Amino acid sequence: MMTCHNLLCLTLFSLVFTIGSGCWLDDQTNHVPTDLTLNEELVLLLGLELGHELNFKEHLQNILIPRTVGSENHTLVQNYIIGTLQDLGWSISLDQFTQDTPLGPRPFTNIIADLNPASPRRMIIAAHYDTLTSIGGFVGATDAAVPVAMMLNLASTMTKSFQDALAIRPDLTPSLVFFDGEEALKSWTSEDSLYGSTHLADLWHNQTYENLDCHETTSQMDRMDVLVLMDLLGTPDPDFQSFQFDSEDDGPNPYYGMMDAIEESLDHFIPSDTKSMFNGLQSSSHVQDDCTPFWNLGLKRIHHWITRPFPSMWHTLGDNWDALDFDYIQRMNMILRIFTAEYMQMQ
């Protein structure tokens, strides 16, 4: 087993990448993630050596408060996310807008963090950071404080490794997107929900992206290699289904398949008492969530990482710290680290 010191570990990696074609769109189309699942040394490194569960819990404690849109707590969490990532060297951009809602005009802020904003391609990990307004004191542990804390933990444990990868292949950056206004402010309808993701999807779909490497007009949405949206994570014994977003592909979602294989590898190299989370079921229907506006505008490279059926404490005051199972969360953090390493083509 390799021994090393936390964030310095992956400097020991050999980073091997596919030779680029010159046009990032071609590289995106032809992108093949590496398969690390048979590499015991790297599975142990990414799964255990880079694990930092105290860091995860610290992030979670700073997020796990009522954070309704426009509230003081909402701003506190927003500033915590921004400050954490800026301290780690990520570039922050904000998509800020005011929109009419059933409760009157409300300000919304999507947070976009890129490690290398000059990269034409983005591997996007995303979750929402707001909470329900209809239940006083609701803290939304699974919905979606845990996913947000997982994203910050990913940045805390993997930034040095991502920087090493970007030094060799600067065209593909990890990006973290924190959506605002996912929850309905009154009751869920197509108009009263998904405020932030709808705004950002429309903005990126219509915003031209200029890059001289490819002699064609592209949009900011074209830069999205993949959108991994996390929601309702953190309870014991979760079931994750495969949602297919590409109507031309009858097979399982390829990103789901990657995580399923990673979990199997962890079961082999790092056994635990947690049961299998990826049940292999393919769903013909989608759960309306922050990935929906992007899919409606043509994005097919989506992985919706969500517990289904929903946790029993969904949208109740019981969705709190006590509802969480940290053994399963630790496992999901391992899966997320290995998934991002594979997508970034680390070997």
Question: What is the distance between the alpha carbons of residues 150 and 56, in angstroms, rounded to a whole number?
Answer: 7
Chain-centroid distance, C-alpha 210: 26
- Residue 21: its pLDDT value, please? 55
pTM: 0.94
Angle at which helix 254-269 crosses helix 326-343, to 10 degrees, equals 120
In residues, how long is the chain? 347
The full set of domains in the chain, from first to last, is 36-343 (3.40.630.10)
Question: What is the distance between the alpha carbons of residues 277 and 306, in angstroms, rounded to a whole number?
Answer: 11
Q: One of 180, 225, 231, 263 is an active-site residue; which one?
A: 231
Low-confidence ranges of the chain (pLDDT < 70): 1-21
Question: What is the distance between the alpha carbons of residues 208 and 303, in angstroms, rounded to a whole number?
Answer: 25
Q: Annotated catalytic, 231?
A: yes
Count CB atoms within 10 A of the CB of residue 327: 11
- Residue 4: its pLDDT value, please? 44
- Sign of the C-alpha dihedral computed for residues 284, 299, 234 and 33 taken in this order: positive
DSSP string covering 236-259: SS--EEEEP--TT--S--HHHHHH
- Residue 9: its pLDDT value, please? 45
Radius of gyration, alpha carbons of the chain = 19
Strands 224-231 vs 121-128: parallel, antiparallel or unpaired: parallel
Q: Annotated catalytic, 183?
A: no
- Residue 6: its pLDDT value, please? 41
Which of 156, 160, 157, 152 shows the shortest CA–CA distance to 177? 152
Q: One of 27, 114, 130, 182 is an active-site residue; which one?
A: 182
Placement of tokens 């297919």 in the chain: 244
Question: What is the distance between the alpha carbons of residues 94 and 109, in angstroms, rounded to a whole number?
Answer: 6
